[in-house]
Amino acid sequence: MALYMDVHNIDGGVSAQDVAGLHEKDLAHQHTHGVSFIKYWVDEEAGKVFCLSEAADAEAPMAVHREAHGAMPDEIYEVSEHS
């Protein structure tokens, strides 16, 4: 399993409340694709959402977003955690 950070860019900004609802939908669907969403961050004013997940490959978190709500990220990166 690897860590992935996906980035959503939303024109006009985004509310943390709306993102929380989408995240709940991701959690409800993550098991279907073997994904574990770990944490997310929101910059409301800039319209940026960052989602950290653990999955076998980059397509798995994308599949969860597609199935759960259709709000697809613009970018996804494999990342590693360092202290």
Residue 7: how many other CB atoms lie within 10 Å = 13
Q: What is the pLDDT of residue 82?
A: 83
Question: 55-68 burial string, b = 16+ CB within 10 Å, else e?
Answer: beebebbbbbbeeb
| Pair 6, 76: CB distance under 8 Å | yes
pLDDT at position 26: 97
List the chain residues with pLDDT less than 70: none
Domain ranges of the chain: 14-36+60-75
> pLDDT value at position 81?
85
